[in-house]
């Protein structure tokens, strides 16, 4: 299911970058590739990372053509989706590495999307760290209960 969503997200990005005529062909080529089929059939994190990364790129690209509050919201959500790629895969940092200079370029050109997407990108790793610190397995619940105020009893942690 996640593999199909990743292929559709790739098709959406191809439609934004190469035009809507090429989106079905691009999605078909990705769907027929052996690595995509292999990771979609097994329990890998690549399809979810593809959804977050490609979806974040789609949102950032869409924010450049919108104006007003919608552009800022889309840029912030796009940056957050790009940053949450790190939560899914630890090597997601290498995927989003080129987004940092692009966000700096947008900030230097004084476009409102630059600060929003950079803020969303910067917000994602601390939230991923906080989630991993406060919501671990049962073995760490007693020692980490102090950082999550909604936990009244550490024995009833999420697993």
**pLDDT tens sequence across 61-91:** 898 888 888 888 888 888 888 888 888 888 8
Instruction: Report percent pLDDT > 70 for the chain.
Output: 79
Residue 52 is assigned to a structural domain of this protein: yes
CA dist 8 → 29, 42, 43, 49, 57 (Å): 12, 18, 19, 14, 13
Residue 133 is assigned to a structural domain of this protein: yes
Residue 119 is assigned to a structural domain of this protein: yes
| Residue where the block lists tokens 């007003």 | 68
Q: Residue 69: which domain range?
A: 45-156
The whole-model pTM stands at: 0.73
Going through the chain in order, the beta strands assigned E by DSSP cover none
- Per-residue model confidence (pLDDT) at position 110: 83
pLDDT above 50 for 139: no
- Per-residue model confidence (pLDDT) at position 33: 94
Residue 40 is assigned to a structural domain of this protein: no
Residue 103 is assigned to a structural domain of this protein: yes
Mean pLDDT value across the chain = 79
Cβ distance 30 to 76 under 8 Å? no
Q: What are phi and psi for residue 155, nearest 5 degrees?
A: -75, -15
Residue 21 is assigned to a structural domain of this protein: no
Residue 134 is assigned to a structural domain of this protein: yes
Q: What is the pLDDT of residues 9-64, one digit of tens each?
A: 999 999 999 999 999 999 999 999 998 989 888 888 899 999 999 999 899 889 88
How many structural domains are present in the chain? 1
Residue 114 is assigned to a structural domain of this protein: yes
Cβ distance 103 to 79 under 8 Å? yes
* Residue environment code for 94-118, b if the CB has 16+ CB neighbours within 10 A, otherwise e: ebbeebeeebeebeeeebbbbbbbb
Mean pLDDT along residues 115-140: 66
């Amino acid at each position: 299911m996640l593999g199909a969503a990743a292929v559709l997200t790739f098709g959406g990005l191809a439609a934004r970058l190469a035009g809507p005529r090429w989106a079905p062909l691009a999605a078909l080529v990705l769907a027929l590739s052996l690595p995509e089929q292999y990771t979609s059939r097994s329990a890998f994190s690549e399809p979810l990372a593809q959804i977050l990364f490609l979806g974040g790129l789609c949102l950032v690209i869409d924010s450049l053509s919108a104006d007003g509050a919608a552009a800022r919201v889309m840029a912030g959500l796009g940056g957050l989706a790009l940053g949450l790629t790190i939560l899914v895969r630890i090597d997601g940092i290498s995927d989003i590495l080129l987004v940092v200079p692009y966000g700096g370029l947008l900030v230097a050109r004084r476009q409102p999307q630059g600060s929003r997407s950079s803020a969303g990108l910067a917000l994602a790793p601390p939230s991923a760290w906080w989630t991993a610190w406060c919501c671990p397995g049962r073995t760490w619940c007693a020692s980490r209960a102090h950082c999550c105020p909604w936990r009244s009893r550490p024995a009833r942690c999420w697993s």
